[in-house]
Structure 1
């Protein structure tokens, strides 16, 4: 006669449940990471394109008023195309050598665009949406023509 066991070794059907549970536990964070990195990359490409195009537009403009108008148009276009909040973008324009009028003929123009990328699915509870942001910055250097401003 065989001895009777108090417990059984049967695990029928448990493997499928375990695979589904482990799959969800691993898949949800990976999908969130992919979405978050995609959003950060889109904003990074946007500020890089914006700084590059603004620097070129200012460097090739015939005068300061035209340069300012072109820069504003490009910034509006880039923020709309890349889905960036226009109010969250900071633009800084400077020239090297320091102390020179900016822009001026022969100077090196530095354009910096900075913004913060909000992480997806972060609720606005307790201002978490303001804290959960990734800063993104792009700097472009462009040589201004020595004939800039001569007409």
Structure 2
């Protein structure tokens, strides 16, 4: 039996691999590179959220501890949280609801007391399809805590 080229079977048939490299590249891209890229983007977003929460808590505590009245301190703390969150691209987070302030003394802002600030919000996972929503949580909670000291020698 002869093939189309006139050679007998098994006598040096050359297998044509043209086009296989493209198919293999596409398979590797879809199976490996796209999930890795998603993971890198997600981890970058979570890291930015962590920086935002920690920075916002530190600045809120500092702003509150340096204020002359608790009301002024609360307003400054919320403004500091808003700036820190906006700086990292979290414009959709409400600063007033994500901030919790607590004083170590009553009334607040007594010389030598401490002010603790906690900023907590959730980071939405991007591009999660609806059929995965029942298995994978759609948001990751992020929290930042800080304690600021009220100046012991402050004047009232």
Q: Which residue of 1 aligns with 2:85?
A: 79
- Residues 19 and 77 (structure 1), Cα distance of their counterparts in 2 relative to 1, 3 Å cut: same
- Does the residue aligned with 1:86 lie in a helix, a strand or coil? coil
Correspondence for 2:64 among 28, 51, 58: 58
Tell which has more relative contact order, 1 or 2 (C-alpha 8 A, sep 6+). 1
Residue 134 of structure 1 deviates from its aligned partner by 0.8
Contact 1:110–1:141 at 8 Å: present in 2 too? yes
Q: CA RMSD in A?
A: 2.9
Please list every run of 5 or more consecutive structure 1 residues that lacks an aligned counterpart in the other structure.
none
The match for 1:91 among 95, 99, 103 is 99
C-alpha distance in structure 2 between counterparts of 1:39 and 1:100, whole Å: 38
Count the aligned residue pairs: 145
TM-score normalised by structure 1 residue count = 0.79
In the alignment, the residues of structure 1 paired with residue 106 and residue 99 of structure 2 have an alpha-carbon distance, to the nearest angstrom, of: 19
TM-score (norm 2): 0.77
- Richer in helix (by share): 1
- Evaluate the alpha carbon distance shift between residue 127 and residue 59 of structure 1 in structure 2; reply closer, same or farther with a 3 A threshold: farther
| Structure with bigger gyration radius | 2
Name the SS of the counterpart of 1:142 in structure 2.
strand
* Segments of 4+ moved more than 4 angstroms: none
Question: How far does residue 127 in structure 1 lie from its aligned partner after superposition?
Answer: 10
